[in-house]
């Protein structure tokens, strides 16, 4: 697609996920014969995605250009930035660059899919540069809700693009690792072609609170608790785990880790030196009953009320070894992810029924965000002073709001490029704009099936969940067309058969009366019989009880 003032040569940027949505982060930068990919994330299913385990980006655009892809660059180790790697690496065999903890989490994830040995994982440090064809990439330290996060300075012959990843400007981080504003300022002095910045918290005024405040809250809460303290948090939030451990130690409590991902991530972080836990502080399940209640602290997964998570099973009294007792305190140390409010509310109700006290972000500072708010974003824009700005990582309203914020701090409106997934942005010479669209989308993962469940299947599942199913079994003589057996009607999720047998008998009679009017030749054509049965029953059910079940005729040759 030709655009005035631009040619097909230049730096191309296209998001395969993460623009106009939260999660599924993946973007490609292309110059000449070289492509570098930033992040490879997943998203968890939305309510209408019945039966789906996870959602990953459609990488068809990359597979068509697989010989050009030089590497995947990871900004940090959250699932929405690394979670799709086990699926993508089956088809795209390229090096993966990331910091030590990020690749530690990646390696553990790949082990589950027997991909850890063949994956080419390359550890980098902040301020390290790597050359990938026409690209030179520098990793820049940023603070976030996970250790070892980085922004990327991606240099091509067209200039430097800064991609922030997820970040905030925490002035008192738990590990002392500040966002590297000096490097951002250095690039700003040199001249930045484009800034692509995290938009998640753009609607929040002021500054995001420091992670250290959560530690202060723990230090205040723990000594007040007479029973066990159970802290639910994301297993990737190593800073949070460290602060729970510190508060437990100071209040004379031993620590039990619960949940597979929590145990695994803590082990990785300890081995890499990102987490300090004194010898003898950790206990196992066998030791917990031997300790007084006020000497026990548990760190668990399940803060979002996930159906089979450890905390949910504990709250439902469905855990074999851990039971909630009167006097226990449960701290939900994470934000309520939009869409999960009802699930989390139900979780809290179950915990209260069993005698626990529940503390969460709405009543105490037991969680802070890992994303920059408005004033932090303004600081970054003023340091980098980009020629062009492309908001990333957010729903569409976040992208619009971030574009408006950029204009307030001096970026002209015509240089703010509001792109969504699939928009191909071309930077060439002194100009930039959206020049084309490429095919992108979501790939559904259901069990071991990847991409075999599409929108049609989801619609069928939704139909089944709302209206139920009716199976009509008919035995027909193949040569004469005579009905020898049935029709027998079996329903699931439609009506309760024991109480509705008279109604189902009426439905059978309707089918028989209809087939009696059909000539014998038609009755020997199974597809025609199925169409007639569906048509007459659909009309009967809609007219009598205004329901639209899925109708599945089953013809037996006899």
Active site amino acids: 198, 371
Token pair of 248 as six digits: 């437990």
DSSP letter for 215, please: H
DSSP string over 234-294: -TT-HHHHHHHHHHHHHTT-EEEEESHHHHHHHHHHHHTTS----TT-EE-TTTGGGS-GG
- The 10 Å Cβ neighbour count of residue 558 is 12
Q: Are 433 and 514 in contact (CB under 8 A)?
A: no
Give the E-state strand segments of 438-549 in sequence order.
442-446, 449-450, 469-476, 483-492
- Rounded Cα distance between 465 and 224, Å, is 47
Asked whether the beta carbons of 374 and 405 are under 8 A apart, the reply is yes
CB 42 within 8 A of CB 79: yes
- Tell how strand 149-156 and strand 135-142 pair up: antiparallel
User: For residues 58 and 450, is the Cβ–Cβ distance under 8 A?
Assistant: no
Distance CA 46, CA 48 (A): 6
Give just the sign of the alpha carbon dihedral 280, 285, 289, 292. positive
């Amino acid at each position: 697609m030709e655009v005035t003032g631009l040619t097909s040569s230049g730096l191309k940027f296209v998001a395969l996920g993460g623009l106009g949505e939260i999660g599924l982060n993946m973007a490609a930068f292309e110059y000449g014969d070289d492509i570098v990919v930033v992040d490879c994330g997943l998203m968890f299913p939305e309510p209408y995605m019945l039966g789906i385990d996870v959602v990953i980006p459609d990488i068809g655009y990359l597979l068509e250009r697989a010989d050009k892809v030089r590497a995947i660059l990871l900004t940090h180790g959250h699932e929405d930035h690394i979670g799709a790697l086990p699926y993508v690496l089956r088809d795209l065999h390229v090096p993966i660059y990331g910091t030590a903890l990020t690749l530690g989490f990646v390696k553990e994830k790949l082990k589950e899919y027997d991909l850890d040995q063949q994956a080419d994982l390359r550890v980098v440090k902040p301020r390290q540069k790597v050359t990938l064809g026409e690209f030179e990439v520098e990793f820049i330290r940023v603070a976030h809700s996970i250790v070892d996060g980085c922004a990327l300075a991606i240099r091509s012959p067209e200039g430097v693009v800064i991609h922030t990843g997820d970040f905030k400007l925490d002035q008192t981080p738990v590990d002392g690792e500040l966002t590297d504003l000096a490097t951002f300022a250095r690039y700003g002095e040199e001249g930045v072609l484009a800034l692509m910045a995290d938009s998640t918290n753009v609607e929040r005024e002021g500054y995001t609170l420091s992670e250290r405040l959560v530690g202060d809250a723990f230090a205040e809460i723990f000594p007040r608790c007479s029973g066990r303290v159970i802290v639910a948090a994301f297993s990737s939030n190593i800073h949070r785990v460290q602060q729970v451990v510190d508060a437990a130690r100071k209040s004379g409590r031993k620590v039990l880790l619960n949940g597979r991902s929590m145990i695994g991530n803590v082990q990785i972080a300890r081995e890499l030196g990102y987490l300090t836990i004194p010898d003898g502080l950790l206990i196992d399940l066998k030791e917990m009953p031997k300790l007084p209640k006020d000497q026990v602290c548990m760190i668990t997964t399940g803060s979002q009320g996930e159906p089979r998570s450890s905390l949910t099973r504990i709250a439902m009294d469905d855990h074999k070894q851990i039971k909630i007792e009167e006097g226990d305190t449960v701290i939900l140390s994470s934000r309520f992810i939009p869409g999960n409010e009802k699930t989390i509310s139900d979780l809290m109700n179950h915990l209260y029924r069993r005698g626990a006290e529940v503390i969460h972000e709405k009543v105490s500072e037991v969680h802070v965000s890992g994303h920059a708010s408005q004033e932090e974003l303004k600081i970054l824009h003023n340091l980098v002073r980009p020629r062009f700005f492309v908001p990333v990582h957010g729903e569409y309203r976040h992208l619009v709001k971030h574009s408006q914020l950029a204009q307030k701090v001096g970026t002209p409106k015509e240089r703010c490029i509001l792109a969504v997934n699939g928009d191909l942005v071309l930077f060439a010479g002194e100009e930039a704009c959206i020049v084309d669209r490429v095919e992108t989308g979501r790939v559904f993962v259901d069990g071991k099936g990847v991409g075999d469940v599409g929108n049609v299947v989801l619609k069928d599942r939704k139909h089944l969940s709302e209206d139920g199913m009716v199976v009509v079994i008919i035995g027909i003589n193949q040569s004469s067309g005579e009905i020898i057996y049935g029709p027998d009607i079996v329903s699931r999720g439609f009506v309760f058969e024991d109480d509705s047998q008279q109604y189902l008998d009426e439905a059978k009679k309707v089918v028989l009366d209809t087939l009696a009017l059909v000539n014998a030749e038609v009755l020997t054509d199974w597809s025609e019989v199925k169409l007639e049965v569906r048509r007459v029953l659909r009309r009967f059910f809609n007219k009598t009880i205004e329901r639209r079940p899925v109708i599945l005729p089953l013809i037996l040759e006899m």
